Amino acid sequence: MRTVLLAGGSGTRLWPLSRRHCPKQFIRLLDETLFQQAYRRARLHSSPDEIVIVTGSAYEFLVKNQIEELGEEVLHDQVLLEPCGRNTLPAIAWGMRRFADDPDHPVVVYPTDHLIGDGMAPVVLQSVPLAEECLVTFGVVPDRPHTGYGYIKPGDALQNGYRVAAFHEKPDSASAEQHIRDGALWNAGIFLMTPRLFFEECQKYAPEIAEASLPGEYSLLPSISVDYGLLERSGRVAVVPLTVPWSDLGTFAALHDASRQDQFNNVGDAHLFDTSGCTFIHPEGKRVAAVGVSDLVVIDTDDALLVCSSGATERVREVVEELDALHDPTVLEHRLVYRPWGSYLVLEESRFFKIKRITVKPGASLSLQQHHHRSEHWVVVSGCANVWIDGETRLLPQGESTFVRAGAVHRLENRGQIPLEMIEVQIGEYLAEDDIVRFDDRYGR
């Protein structure tokens, strides 16, 4: 079995937990990220060389770091980087193109931002014979009417599935209830198909995508979903019912439903008095208490706080739209930012200074770089730094410091066996991340 993992996203629906540069599949909502869960699921039926990940270029190192955290090696050309977002049909086409060498070998396509319970892999394997004749989609057997999901109406029975009679977009309440009475299924966004059949149907209904030279022409393709661009038009589509636990975790209400709750339906670590139906998510170590409230969502991060009614969580994207119009930095990224060499956490900043905690992975190094508008003071907290400044190299052990003047060409490297942690104090009139000139970078940035 071969697998395409879709790992795009915009990071708006679970703000401030998710950000544009770190959408929900990469944040630790549970023990592992949703992306890591999806990769583990793929490994149940696919070897690493049978797995391709399609993601945005901004997420390249998030993807690679999170695969490595699972103890897996990232293979050459395993990660396909979209130059721009083009929705699911072009993304799937690019992934399927990678497996066109064996056009009759089935490929399963998983989203990486959904919560999917155990038992998915056996259903996929049982559906392989159906995928020889049809484009197979999977539909979750609903337990209630839901206005946040699309629906698939099954038609005539096929081997362990049904021919699709109709697709329905996200409905209003009355339509959702009618879909339930009609036996419709929630559209899970999971697919199983062979490259041959996929491209045959694409040639009929989306020829510009079927014929595109990828990745060169990717940015020229229309932005279109696989449902609208292909599945709703093709007459060779089947649906297989799913009874495994599933949620797209598209709102904080969905996250609440999928999380462990106390006897009063509260989620989160807090001291609660006469409180029910609430969700509390906050930084570790912060004491939270609530008295006499109900049906609230309280999401606290280092740099943003969201408070909303549990019935209004779908409107969080309106908040993000307004903040985006104001160019608010909390839309883009967290104070904790991941890089291919490690991470940095912004501890404090003002107009003329910024303080960071920098963590460099063993064997990693920052680029050989220069800043025109800021100087930097480095203090080693743990580990030992190998520092290169204007042609001079020195070792900087724990407790020692050094100064990098504005304009100096410099590099920081960790040649040790443990993570290197440093405090960096930046001083200058312009402290944005784009004040950087790279002369050499092992990560190709």
Beta strands in 312-419, from DSSP E residues, in sequence order: 336-339, 342-349, 353-360, 368-370, 374-382, 385-389, 392-396, 401-404, 410-413
In tens, the pLDDT along 370-407 reads: 999 999 999 999 999 999 999 999 999 999 999 999 99
- Distance of alpha carbon 44 from alpha carbon 54, whole angstroms: 19
Matching residue, tokens 């009609």: 182
- Distance of alpha carbon 306 from alpha carbon 235, whole angstroms: 45
Matching residue, tokens 């609230």: 296
Categorize the per-residue pLDDT at 6 as very low, low, confident or very high, splitting at 50, 70 and 90: very high
Q: Is the peptide bond before 207 cis (omega within 30 degrees of 0)?
A: no
In tens, the pLDDT along 276-309 reads: 999 999 988 899 999 999 999 999 999 999 999 9
Domains parsed from the chain with CATH numbers: 2-247 (3.90.550.10), 256-325 (no CATH), 336-440 (2.60.120.10)
Task: Decide: residue 225, CB within 10 A, 0-12 exposed, 13-18 middle, 19+ buried.
Answer: middle
In tens, the pLDDT along 327-357 reads: 999 999 999 999 999 999 999 999 999 999 9
Q: What is the pLDDT of residue 60?
A: 93
3-state secondary structure of 406: coil
Q: What is the pLDDT of residue 59?
A: 94
Please give the single-letter amino acid code of residue 202. C
The whole-number average pLDDT for the span 117-136 is: 95
